[in-house]
Amino acid sequence: MPYFDHNATTPLLPEAREAWLRASDEAWANPSSPYRLSARAHRLLDTARERVAAHLGVAPGEIVFTAGATEANNAVIRWAAQVIPAGACAVVSATEHPSVLAPAREVFGARLVELPVAPDGRCELQRLDAAAAGFVAVMAANNETGVLGPVDDIDARCRASGAWYLCDASQWIGRLPARGLAPHAFVVGCAHKFGGPKGAGILRVPPAARAAGFRAQRGGEQEGGLRAGTENYAAIASMVAALEWTGAQAASIESRVAWRSRFIENVSRGVPGIVVNSGDAPCLWNTVSLRMPAHDNTRWVVRLDKLGFEVSTGSACATGSSAPSHVLAAMGLTAAEARRTARISSGWETTERDWQLLAEAIANVWAQLEAEGAGGNVVRI
Amino acid sequence: MPYFDHNATTPLLPEAREAWLRASDEAWANPSSPYRLSARAHRLLDTARERVAAHLGVAPGEIVFTAGATEANNAVIRWAAQVIPAGACAVVSATEHPSVLAPAREVFGARLVELPVAPDGRCELQRLDAAAAGFVAVMAANNETGVLGPVDDIDARCRASGAWYLCDASQWIGRLPARGLAPHAFVVGCAHKFGGPKGAGILRVPPAARAAGFRAQRGGEQEGGLRAGTENYAAIASMVAALEWTGAQAASIESRVAWRSRFIENVSRGVPGIVVNSGDAPCLWNTVSLRMPAHDNTRWVVRLDKLGFEVSTGSACATGSSAPSHVLAAMGLTAAEARRTARISSGWETTERDWQLLAEAIANVWAQLEAEGAGGNVVRI
C-alpha cells in the first residue's frame, strides 16, 4: 500500500503495537496507587521517561507525557500569555500549525505578531525582534511543506533575550535526530507522526519554565506536578518503542533524501511545469509540496486514491475547511495555486520503488486529465 | 486477583482490547484526510459517537471525545471563567475531584464558593444559591467515598437560574445507567474507570454551551470544531466497546448493591468499631470508604497487598501528597481519622466471593496488627 500521507498520521509500527499490548496486559495499574502492582507501573513509566529524555538529550524531569501535540501547544501558549510582560509581544511564524496559531490568536490578541516567510517557506528570521518578544513559536519542520525552521538560531536568540520559545517538532521528532534540538525551548513531539499510537505526545519543559510555574492540566500530581491526569502508560510505552525504532533507522536518512530528490526529478519530467512549492529550502526527507500546472488538487487526489496512492490536498486539520491553506498563502501563493497543490509525505516503510511508482502514477493522472481536456473539468471529478 | 481499586483505574476489558486492536489495524488513518481509507475511519468515528450519544440519551453532536476527565474538567472550567458574568460566583462542591478543584481555584480565585457537605458526604444542597452562581460543579459520584450527588436537582436549579453546570460523572458512567443524567449539563466520563483504555474520555457539551462558543483545545476542526487534535479512534472504539459491555451488565446492579452491604456487615463483625465514612448516604455499588478503629491506612494497605488484595489509602491523584484527603476533611474527619481510612472499590469482574474474602482478609490484618500491639507500630510497617 503506497501510503503517502504520513504527515497526517502513520500506521502503527509492529513494535509499538506489541508494546501497547504488553503494557495493557501487565502494567495497567494506576502508577500512583500504593501497592506493588502500581509500583511496577511506576517504575516502567520512569524508564520510559528516561528513554525519551535520552533521545532528546535532556534530563528525565524535563519530559512531560501528553495526549498529543495539540494539547501541548495549547498548554504552553495559555501559560505564556499569563507570564510574559504586559508590554511584550508574541511572535509566531505565519506558517505554524493551527494548534499554535489558533490559541495564540485567542490569548495574545493584538499582542500577536506573525513572522512572515519567504516564497520558499523559510522563516524571515531577520524580521524577528527577539528583544521585543516575550514568546516566540517557530516550528522545527512544516507539516504542509516539510520546510525546516532555523531552530537553533531562534533558540539562541530567545535564550539571549529571555523570551520563551515553543518549538513544535511534531513533524521532526521520529524523523530526524532530535538530540539537543532547541536546548532552551519547550519542544513538542507527537507519537502518531512516527509510527506510535494516537493520543500520546511529548512535551519537553525547559527547567526555567518549571521554575517559573509552568503547568499544563491541573488536578493530581502526575508528571512531576506539571500535567495532571492518570498516566496513559500503554500509549507511552508504545510511543517509546516507536521512537527508539525510528532512531535506529537514522542511517538510512541519506538514501531517503536521495529518493525524494529523484522523485522530484521524475515527476518534473512526467508533468512539465510542475513546481515544488518549497524551492530549494531545506526540507524533511519525507515531504514534498507539489503544485500542479492545472486541475484542482481534489481531482488529482481522487484519481491517485483510485490507483492506490493516498496523498493529501493539505493538512488533515484543515480538511473540513474550504479556505485555502494559510501556509501556502503565507508563501505568496494565490488561492488558485494553493488549490492546485498536493502534499506528499512518505514514512519509514516507504521504499524507493514506492516513490518511483508514485511519480509514474502522477504522470498518468496528468495525462488523463489533460486528455479529458477542459470539458473534463465539467463532466467528472 | 481480587483487585479493589477500580476507582483509580480498571484492567482493560477483553472486548475493549479487541476493539483497540481492530481499530489500530484497520482504521488507523486520519479521519479528516481526503481518501477512502480515511472516509472509512470517519464513518466508524461517527458510529462511535452515535453509540455514546445513545448511551447518554443525547444527540451525537453533543458528544466530544477527549483524552480523559482531567482534560475535560480543565477545559470546561477555563471556558466558564471567561463567560460567566463578572459579578457571578462559581460554586464547587468541597469534595470535587482535584481536576475540578485545582483549576477552579486557579481561574475563579476569590469568586469561588466551596459548597460544604454533611458528615456523610452528601452535598448541602440547601446552601446552593444557584441564582448567584454563574457556574456550578457537583460530581455525580465521589471517587473516594462513592457518595452520589443530587445531580438532577442541581441540573434543574442551574437550568432555572441560567448557571452552567459541570457534572463530573467519571465514577458514574460505565457503572450506573447514564441515560438522561444531568440533561442540561456538561457531563464528563472517563474510559479507564469502566474497563476502557486510558487516554479516552467523553465530554457531553450541552447545546447552549456550543451556541455560547464553548471550545476545548484549539487548532483543527475536529469534533465539530469543539476539540482540536487528531481523533484517537482506536481508543474511542475501545472505550465504546467497554461502555456497551458495561451497559449490558446493568441487570446485576441490584445483586452488587447487596454484596457491598453484606461486605459491610461482615467487616463490621470482623473488626469491631470499623466505620463506613459515608454512613447511610446513597453510594455507588462498588465503593466503600472504611475507617479503621486504629492503625494507619498505609499499614493496612501493605498487609492487604501481601495477602493479594489491592485497596487504596485514597485517591491515586493524591498519593504523592502527604496532606490528608480533602474529601474526608470536608466531611469533618480529623487528619488522624483520615489516615485510618482505606478506599475499597470493586469492578464488574469482582465476585461476591471476592468481597467475602476481602472482609476476611481485613479481619485477619486487624487481628495481626492488634496482636503486635503498640510496639508493632514502631518496629514494622
Tell me, yes or no, if B317 is annotated catalytic. Answer: yes
What is the rounded average pLDDT of the residues A346-355? 98
B241: closest CA among B203, B195, B200, B181? B195
Edge-to-edge strands of the sheet including A133-137? A63-66, A201-204, A186-190, A164-168, A133-137, A89-93, A112-115
- The answer for residues whose C-beta is within 8 angstroms of residue A171's C-beta and 6 or more apart is A7, A139, A140, A141, A142, A143, A146, A193, A284, A287
- The DSSP element (H or E) to which A121 belongs, if any, is none
CB-CB under 8 Å, A33 with B218: no
Beta pairing partners, B345: B5, B287
Q: Does residue B380 carry a pLDDT above 90?
A: no
Q: What is the pLDDT of residue A379?
A: 39
0.90 cut: is pTM over it?
A: yes
DSSP lists the bridge partners of residue B188 as B168, B203
Closest by alpha carbon to A190, among A8, A320, A3?
Answer: A8
Kindly report the nearest CA distance between residue B249 and chain A, in angstroms: 22
Q: Does A67 touch chain B (CB under 8 A)?
A: yes
Shortest CA gap B127–chain A (Å) = 25
A89 membership: H or E segment, kind and range: strand A89-93
- Read off the pLDDT band of B132 (50, 70, 90): confident
Q: What are phi and psi of A230, to 5 degrees?
A: -55, 130
Per-residue pLDDT, averaged over A278-301, amounts to 96
pLDDT score recorded for residue B323: 78
* Contact with chain B for residue A73, Cβ under 8 A: yes
DSSP B148: B
pLDDT value at A378 more than 50: no
Three-state secondary-structure class, residue A263: helix
ipTM: 0.95
Mean of per-residue pLDDT scores for chain A: 94
Chain A residue numbers touching B200 (CB-CB < 8 A): 199
pLDDT at A92: 97
Nearest by CB to A228, from B37, B99, B197: name it. Answer: B99
Which string of DSSP letters, residue by residue, matches B158-224? HHHHT-EEEEE-TTTBTTB--TTSSTTSEEEEEGGGTTS-TT-EEEEPPHHHHHTT--SS-SS-TGG
Closest-CA residue of A relative to B1 is A37
What angle, 0 to 180 degrees and rounded to 10, lies between the N-to-C axes of helices B233-247 and B14-26?
150
Using a CB-CB cut-off of 8 Å, the residues of chain A touching B99 are: 217-220, 228-229
pLDDT tens profile A61-83: 999 999 999 999 999 999 999 99
> What is the average pLDDT value for chain B, to the nearest integer?
94
Place A381 in a pLDDT band, splitting at 50, 70 and 90: very low
- Substitution target in A7, A70, A171, A236 with the highest count of B β-carbons within 10 Å is A70
Q: Does A162 touch chain B (CB under 8 A)?
A: no
So what's the pLDDT on residue B374? 56
Main-chain dihedrals φ then ψ at residue B180, nearest 5 degrees: 80, 10
What's the half-sphere exposure (Cβ side, CA atoms, 13 Å) at A119? 8
Using pLDDT thresholds of 50, 70 and 90, give the confidence band for residue A380.
Answer: very low
| Partner B contacted by A72 (CB < 8 A) | no
The pLDDT value recorded for residue B273 is 96
Using the Cβ of B32 and the Cβ atoms of chain A, whether some distance falls under 8 Å is answered with yes
Residue B25 distance to chain A (closest CA, Å): 8
Q: Is A376's pLDDT higher than 70?
A: no
| Direct distance between the N- and C-terminal alpha carbons of chain B, in angstroms, rounded to an integer | 23
- For residue B222, CA distances in Å to A188, A332, B33, B60 come to 20, 27, 11, 14
The nearest CA of chain B is from the CA of A261 a distance in Å of 25
Yes or no, beta carbons of B35 and A5 under 8 Å apart: yes
pLDDT at A202: 98
Taking the C-alpha atoms of residue A238 and residue A222, their distance in angstroms, rounded to an integer, is 19
User: How many angstroms from the chain centroid is the CA of residue B280?
Assistant: 20
- Compute the distance between CA of residue A112 and CA of residue A191 in angstroms, rounded to an integer: 29
Confidence of residue A319 (pLDDT cuts 50, 70, 90): low
Instruction: Give me the helix-helix angle, B297-306 and B352-379, nearest 10°.
Output: 120
* Least Cα separation, residue B192 to chain A (angstroms): 9
- List of chain B residues whose C-beta atoms are within 8 Å of the C-beta of residue A199: 67, 199-200, 232, 234-235
Q: pLDDT category, A191, cuts 50, 70, 90?
A: very high
How far apart are alpha carbons A192 and A178 in whole angstroms?
A: 16
Judged by CB atoms closer than 8 Å, whether chains meet at A221 and B321 is answered as yes
Residues 6+ apart with CB under 8 A from A43: none
Mean local confidence (pLDDT), B146-169: 97
Give the A:B interface size as CB pairs under 8 Å. 250
Residue A68 DSSP symbol = -
Report pLDDT for A1: 63
Question: From CA B274, how far away is CA B89, in angstroms rounded?
Answer: 39
Residue in A closest to B76 by C-alpha: A217
Burial annotation A220-246 (CB, 10 A radius, 16+ → b, else e)? bbbbeebbbbbbbbbbbbbbbbbbbbb
Residue pLDDT, tens place only, A78-88: 999 999 999 99
% of chain A exceeding 70 in pLDDT: 96
Mutation site, A218, A327, A381, interface B, largest B CB count within 10 A: A218
Which DSSP string do the residues of B41-64 spell out, in sequence order?
HHHHHHHHHHHHHHHHTS-GGGEE
Closest CA to B134 of B84, B207, B81: B84
Residue A94: pLDDT over 70: yes
Reported as a single tens digit per residue, the pLDDT across B46-88 is: 999 999 999 999 999 999 999 999 999 999 999 999 999 999 9
Of A30, A200, A310, the CB nearest to B35: A310
Confidence of residue A306 (pLDDT cuts 50, 70, 90): very high
CA distance to partner chain B, nearest, from residue A106 (Å): 9
Q: Which amino acid is at B367?
A: A
- Mean pLDDT to the nearest integer, B276-293: 97
Q: Looking at the DSSP assignment, which residues form a beta bridge with residue A1? A: none
Judging by DSSP bridges, how do beta strands B186-190 and B164-168 pair with one another? parallel
Q: How confident is the model at residue A23 (pLDDT cuts 50, 70, 90)?
A: very high
* The predicted structure's pLDDT at residue B314: 81
Q: Structural domains in chain B? A: 14-247 (3.40.640.10), 251-373 (3.90.1150.10)
A35 near B CB under 8 A: yes
**Inter-chain touch B316–A230, beta carbons under 8 Å:** yes
A353 Cβ neighbours under 8 A, 6+ residues apart = none
Q: Which of A230, A236, A341 to mutate to test the interface with B (most CBs of B within 10 A)?
A: A230
**Could you tell me which residues come within 8 angstroms of residue B269 by beta carbon, excluding any fewer than 6 positions away?**
B363
Please tell me if residue B365 touches chain A, with a CB cutoff of 8 Å. no
Q: Looking at residues A346-360, what average pLDDT do you find?
A: 98
Give me the phi and psi of B351, to 5 degrees please: -105, 170
Q: Is the pLDDT of residue B230 over 70?
A: yes
Neighboring chain A residues of B35 at a CB cutoff of 8 Å:
5, 301-302, 305, 310-312
Query: What is the reported pLDDT for A130?
Result: 77
Residues 6+ apart with CB under 8 A from A276: A264, A288, A289, A290, A291
3-state helix, strand, coil in chain B (%, to 5): 45, 15, 40
Range B149-152, long-range pairs (CB < 8 A, 24+ positions): B149/B93, B149/B123, B150/B122, B150/B123, B150/B125, B151/B181, B151/B182, B151/B185, B152/B182
The string of pLDDT tens digits covering residues A321-334 is: 567 899 999 999 99
What average pLDDT does the segment A341-359 reach? Answer: 98
Average pLDDT, stretch A183-189?
98
Beta pairing, strands A89-93 & A112-115? parallel
Give A151's pLDDT tier (boundaries 50, 70, 90).
very high
Distance from CA of A245 to the nearest CA of B (A): 18
Which regions of chain B does DSSP assign to beta strands (E)?
A: 63-66, 89-93, 112-115, 133-137, 164-168, 186-190, 201-204, 275-276, 287-291, 341-345
Q: Does residue B376 surpass a pLDDT of 60?
A: no
**Is residue A78 a contact partner of residue A90, using CB atoms and an 8 Å limit?**
no
Selection from A135, A84, A78 nearest residue A103 by Cα: A78
Report residue B285 as a C-alpha cell. Answer: 455499588
Is A33 an 8 Å CB contact of chain B?
Answer: yes
Of residues B171, B146, B152, B191, the one with CA closest to residue B285: B146
pLDDT band at B290 (very low <50, low <70, confident <90, very high): very high
The cell numbers describing B162, all together, are 441560567
> Quick one: pLDDT at residue B322?
65
Nearest CB partner across the interface for B98, out of A70, A97, A220: A220
Interchain CB distance below 8 Å, A35 and B319? no
